[in-house]
Amino acid sequence: MAITVKLDELLHERRMTLTELAERVDLTLANMSILKTGKAKAIRFSTLEAICRELDCQPGDLLKYIETE
């Protein structure tokens, strides 16, 4: 099982840069990049809430489950 993060797609749709989002949610660019590239092992609900607030989306718009063998 794998959870993927669709942050790139949402940023593109909103015409927002990763740097701008990082500043808005008060997260370092390095940590935001780790989340965007799918290397993050966890995400705090407060971070997820802030991202959803700034991108005007739901958690399901940001995260996707992919079944793997």
Each residue's pLDDT tens digit, 11-58: 999 999 999 999 999 999 999 999 999 899 999 999 999 999 999 999
pLDDT at 1: 57
Q: What is the structure's pLDDT at 69?
A: 77
66 phi/psi in degrees, rounded to 5? -125, 120
| pLDDT value of residue 24 | 96
pLDDT at 58: 97
The secondary structure of residue 65, as a DSSP letter, is E
Amino acid symbol at 45:
F
SS3 5: strand
Domains in the chain, CATH or no CATH each: 2-66 (1.10.260.40)
- Name the residue type at position 40: A
